[in-house]
Chains A and B, each alone.
Chain A
Amino acid sequence: MRRNRFFIGMFLVLILLIIVEFYVYANSSVFEGEDERISFVVTGDNLDDWETLKSGAETAALDNKCQVTFLNSPVSAGVEGEIELINRQIYEGAEYVYVASGYYDELYEYIKEQGLKSKVRFVKNGSCGDDKYSIIADDYSMGKDYGKYIIDDGFSGSLYVMYSSDSVNNLNFIKGLEEAVDGSDVYLKREYVTMDDSSLINHIYNIYKSGLYNGMILLDANVLDCAMSLGVDQKSGFAIYGVDDRQAAVYYLDSGSIQALACKDDYTIGYLAVKAVLNNGDKVSDEGVPLYYIINKEQIYSEEYEKILFPFVK
């Protein structure tokens, strides 16, 4: 009787084992671990503008069982477009959604209200102190460093700070800049401009021609482009400093149209964003890997900056 019970017990154990093994076999992909899905939602009409960020993200995802998806929300769709995209990505199973938002303040409030902080993180645009998981360059430090550079470069006098986006990035940058030049021979005049390009060109021309200012620091792409279209003669002593990530800005620097350029390293930002997800959601230590650079013309083709300013993308 005892032996029969033993055999029945063994029989049941083996059957159970076979069932479990079949289940594991049929769901082997689950047990091996499905690929992490990360979505990036960026603002802009052209996804090519985010090619460097995408390249960094895809490199980090390489060989790490990770899928990276990039989606752009057109500028015209506003913050609602970004919210819709974010929600759709979460619904479709994205582990995390990184957002490079053009409407940081509204989106940040929305994320906080909806309790989506565990799923949605900010990248590149925004205040780096708001959320410990966001990968954002420290604009305040960048402004401060740029201020020091300008002073060290020998500039003195009035510096016109112009920007067309009152984003938190620009505001933090200006704060840092103001602190850096405080007490020095550099005096800042800041202006937030909202005019169209032709008006802006005229405005910049007037500032240049007024003789009241010794230089400008231009924080946004369209402002920089408008200034460059004037073809200001650098020999005139009117110094133009740029803050821009685009290849065009590198060209301006290379051609001597601007004195120096501050740019963020989108590749590293994208890379660190994905690595944080692969590190169980925790940020990977990024000490020693700066997220922004301040470069002059002589440094463009140096071994250190060449590979940063000219990413290996087609």
Chain B
Amino acid sequence: MKLFDFQNQFHRLRRASKRRSIQLVISISFTLVAIISMSFMAMAFYTNYINTSRQNAIDNDEKIVEQISWNLNSYLRNMMGVSNSMYYSVIKNLDLTSDSMTKEMDILYEANKDDLISIACISQDGALISAAPIATRKNGVDFTEQSWFSDTEEEKVENFHFSAPHVQNMFESDNYRYYWVVSLTRSIDLNYMGYIRRGILLVDMNYSAIEQMFMKANESGEGYVYLIDSNGEIIYHPAQKAIYSGLANENNIVASGYDDGNYIETFEGNERAVIVKTVGYTGWKIVSVTPVKELIGESFQLRVFMLIILTITIFMILFGNLFIARVVTDPIKKLEDSIGVIDAGMLDEDVIFIGGTHEIRHLGRTIKSLVVQMRTMMEESVAEQKEKRKSELNALQAQINPHFLYNTLDSVVWMIESEKYPEAISMITSLASLFRISLSKGNNIITIRDEITHAKNYLAIQKVRYKNKFEANIDVDPAIEDCITIKLIIQPLIENAIYHAVGDLYDEGVIDIKGYEKDGDIYIEVKDNGMGIPPEKLKDLLKEKGKSQGKGSGIGLWNINQRINLYFKEDYGLKIESELDVGTTAIIHLPKISYQEYMGGDGNEKK
């Protein structure tokens, strides 16, 4: 059912689309093409802008990470330099049984105290040999239990070890200050009168120096930078306390597995750009995290701005196209409207619109010329047809009058000679009436009443001539008397009935003339009780003269039928029915048109 409905809808749409105007087609097509092209371009530019912005932001972040890395490396190199200086320039050259390193240590400390918390030299068994700044070791603190001590003990002299950040708890502090430090340690050789013992050189780096490097980078924007060791443990993070407390999370363990470069990762439902850079010497990694949505910055405003431009452009395209389409198609529309007038039947060339572009004007002029030609041709054709019919009718009618006139006049002469004056007067009166109706002021169409009167007059004349050898009965429905008929169609039938049927009968012949309406048409029957017509003759009766083989004119019947066909359609005409020894019936079939109706329109014939 759904498929059926869909098909139905589709067909309805197709039908509706076929009724579209040219203006609508132009407007919609141009608008769609413009909007699609523009949208495509806008999307391409926007995507390119977004990608470029994103890449620029990533490049910028990479530079920041690079800078931090450089600073951190520099700091670490500096600290290592302090350690190297202390060891290679001082400790290595000392005999600890007699010499002291305190002074040199102090100098080195003072020179770097912004970046250091302390420097210390510790023997293998955990004894403090020297430290700067000078401070008392805390009670109960055993150096050998510190993780930095145990991690460094077995290392080579050249190898540095960096601890995780921790609070320095080795020395007493008189101001309640506790320092977070990263311990840089190395194993060293201590010389005791030529005996080499292992020891540890400890440089406690001030953690806040590292913190400061990262805090500057984390001051603005939604992104941040943090530092992890090679195991992923956080060394610095702007929210490290929250992470340690379990209030916040970070993807540090995963980040420790990244090689240097930039990545897009999803963490806790947020997409972020991650840049990783490994710090030399330590294996630490600097990780920069920026939410992806911040990479393109002020995206919301940009999108709204694009939407504004798009809307205004659609506005301009739409109405611009409508206006242009209107300018282009208005003349076509006007031309179409004027052709519509022509189509309705009004062949007036003055209504044809001439205007618009050159092509439309040319089209209009051509159509105008065609209309003129059409009208002329039609008028000529109509006139020609009228003339043709008129002459045909006239010619046809002219064929049936002469003999009757002669005979009738002979009869009148005979009556006068026989001093039968009333009969003569009656006959001449009837003749006059006959001719009046025959002429009918040149009209070919008369009422049935007049045609019956004409028949009556004819019968009156013929009865005298045939000495009442036959009887004629006329029964015409009064309702059809005011309808039209072609003149001189009943009289020839009566003539035939007299000449070929009842005229030779010894018994009294009967001619019945009947007129009635049936199925909306008019039928007039002329029936006689003559000998009938043999079938072989009957079939030729309505054929044109020359084709009929029998005696007698035959012209009258063909004439009647032809005139009826000419004036009305082929559906109407004359039919002959006959039965031998019974009689013959001629049936005229006419359309029912009242005389008033006929007089109301000039073109009523041949509808």
Contacts and interface: CB of A to CB of B under 8 A. Distances in A.
Contacts of A314: 208, 211
A66 to B, nearest CB: 11
B97 interface: no
Given A56-B241, A289-B245, A312-B241, A18 B311 contact: yes
Main SS of the interface on chain A? Answer: helix
B133 interface: no
B311 A17 contact: yes
A21 B245 contact: no
Contacts of A56: 241-242
A218 to B, nearest CB: 17
Interface string B238-254: 11111011111000000
A25 interface: yes
How many chain A residues sit at the interface, stated as a range, is 35 or more
Given A18-B311, A56-B242, A271-B247, A254 B304 contact: no
B300 interface: yes
Interface stretch (A86-94, A122-130, A243-251): A243-251
B176 A268 contact: no
Contacts of A275: 247
B240 A312 contact: yes
Contacts of B307: 21
A113 B538 CA distance: 128
A310 B224 contact: no
Given A24-B304, A62-B224, A312-B240, A267 B178 contact: no
B570 interface: no
A28 B180 contact: no
Contacts, number: 96
Interface string A270-283: 01100100000000
A21 B242 contact: no
Interface residues of B, number: 40
B247 A289 contact: yes
Interface stretch (A7-15, A154-162, A170-178, A198-206): A7-15
Contact of B308 (A11, A22, A268, A288): A22
A247 B176 contact: yes
A256 B308 CA distance: 71
Contacts of B319: 7, 11
A59 B312 contact: no
Interface stretch (A36-44, A133-141, A183-191, A300-308): A300-308
B167 A59 contact: no
A63 interface: yes
Given A265-B245, A288-B246, A307-B244, A14 B305 contact: no
Contacts of A55: 241
B308 A306 contact: no
Interface in B204-250: 207-208, 211, 222-224, 238-242, 244-248
Contact of B239 (A62, A250, A256): A62
Contacts of B211: 312, 314
A7 B301 contact: no
B596 to A, nearest CB: 44
A10 B318 contact: yes
A60 B242 contact: yes
Nearest to B221: A63
Nearest to A247: B176
A306 B173 CA distance: 17
A78 interface: no
A223 B239 CA distance: 34
Contacts of A268: 245, 247
Contacts of B238: 59, 62
A24 B304 CA distance: 7
A272 B311 CA distance: 45
Contacts of B300: 28, 31-32
B169 interface: yes
B224 A25 contact: no
Contacts of B308: 18, 21-22, 25
Given A10-B318, A289-B247, A306-B167, A247 B239 contact: no
A254 B318 CA distance: 80
Interface string B563-574: 000000000000
A240 B105 CA distance: 40
B239 A59 contact: yes
Nearest to B215: A314
Given A268-B245, A288-B246, A307-B241, A21 B304 contact: yes
B325 to A, nearest CB: 12
A24 B208 CA distance: 45
Contacts of A60: 242
B315 A18 contact: yes
A14 B315 contact: yes
B303 to A, nearest CB: 9
B180 A310 contact: yes
Contacts of A267: 241-242, 245
A56 B322 CA distance: 63
B226 to A, nearest CB: 12
Closest 9 A/B residue pairs (Cβ):
A251-B176, A307-B244, A28-B301, A25-B304, A63-B222, A14-B315, A21-B308, A310-B167, A59-B239
10 contacts: A18-B308, A18-B315, A21-B311, A22-B308, A25-B301, A28-B300, A247-B176, A251-B176, A312-B180, A314-B211
Interface of B: 138-139, 166-167, 169, 173, 176-178, 180, 207-208, 211, 222-224, 238-242, 244-248, 291, 300-301, 304-305, 307-308, 311-312, 314-315, 318-319, 322
